[in-house]
Amino acid sequence: MKKLERLFAIVWKEWLQVFRDPSALLIAFVFPAIMLFLFGYGLSLDSADVKIGVVLEDDSPLARSFYNSLDASKYFNARYYSDRLQAERGLRDEIVRAIVVVPNDFSTLVERGELGAIQTLVDGGEPNLALLVENYVRAAFVKWTSLRARETGATGLSSKIDLETKTMYNPAQITRYSLLPGSIAMILAMIGTLLTCLVVAREWERGTMEATLATSVGKFEMFVGKMIPYFLLGIAAAIGSATLARRLFEIPFEGSIGAFLLSSCVFLLVATSQGVLISSTQRDQSVASQIAVLSSFLPNFLLSGVIFEIDAMPKFIQCVTYVFPARYYVVCLQTIFMTGDVWPLLLNQIGCMAIIGSVVFVAAIVKTPTRL
């Protein structure tokens, strides 16, 4: 009973400290809104007005019609080339990012009822852009064949092309749908780690730690009492961020609140434990905050898969990503928002986060100071 009373006393003390320090409330509530605005409006992997070269070796009306459809697309800034070598030099010099070649026998083959081929050469220096350009060309070609069918009645044109493209869960391929759920992981990593990393360090700087250690509070009570208020702030920030993403940016939310809260709670357990661990080993707030940014935000931002595809990373870096809980939390968020409650997948990711959280939790309790 006395342990519970001491725990409540520590929690109440930290709550008072939260409301006395406006910066904590700013980080918990203003910071998520700013981050969502930046991710929502300032960061997009969609490309528009991509410079492409179109080589018309076949100058027939059919080939010209296809060129006009590319030129009219909002995704392309098409440039005409009559010579393939000249277009390849433009690709080499980065004047264009891709080349679409219509061969000289294209219209002849189509008129015979045979398969007419169109070749696309893409600059692989930027793999994401290359994939987008390829998809855009395919979409433009499908749109062109459907328009030709309506205008000329040539319904057999599209049947001569073996083209199958299907996008699951995000048919429009809007990157915001995957970026914004993933940005919630970055927000909670910063809130959970940055706020709690200043807890003990602040008391060392202000000289109030001596008074706390003079009481009969144990390690577990000290740790949990200092973690709970910031854990609850993180949950409030998670709910606020999800609501803002859903209402303001109209991000689909196919899963349940229960799955979202469960995964968020486990992730915040790791983040807040890591913050207390940093705070317990550092007595300077500025040093603690820098360590929090370097050990939490930057690795989670770069290695979580939100921006950069993990499978495209070197094998060694792929192995390193398994240490960071944001890798698993991002999968949970994107699944919950765009697919739904796929529990086998979610429980696997939550279990990995729980294992990491248990290790950090124990380490934080061990390092929590109880004496000068």
| pLDDT tens track for 21-42 | 666 666 667 767 766 765 565 4
pLDDT at 161: 47
Domains and CATH numbers, the chain: 2-43+174-367 (no CATH), 50-160 (3.40.1710.10)
- What are the pLDDT digits (tens) for 57-116? 877 777 788 788 888 777 788 888 878 888 887 777 667 878 888 878 777 766 766 666
- What are the pLDDT digits (tens) for 303-345? 887 777 776 677 888 888 898 898 899 889 988 988 888 888 8
126 within 8 A of 158, measured Cβ to Cβ: no
Please, what is the end-to-end C-alpha distance for the chain in angstroms?
Answer: 26
Q: Edge-to-edge, what's the strand order for the sheet holding 98-102?
A: 76-81, 50-56, 98-102, 119-122
pLDDT at 287: 74
Three-state DSSP class for residue 81: strand
Among 55, 59, 64, CA closest to 96: 55
For residues 152 and 198, the model is more confident at 198
> Whole-prediction pTM value?
0.67
For residues 163 and 259, the model is more confident at 259
Q: From the CB of residue 52, how many other CB atoms can be counted at a distance below 10 Å?
A: 28
How many helices (H) and strands (E) the chain has is answered by 17, 4
Task: Using the structure block, give the residue that is written with the tokens 């004047």.
Answer: 95
- What confidence category does residue 162 fall into, taking pLDDT thresholds of 50, 70 and 90? very low
pLDDT at 21: 67
For the chain, give the mean pLDDT.
76
Dist CA 216 CA 6 (whole Å): 8
Q: Does 198 have pLDDT greater than 90? A: no
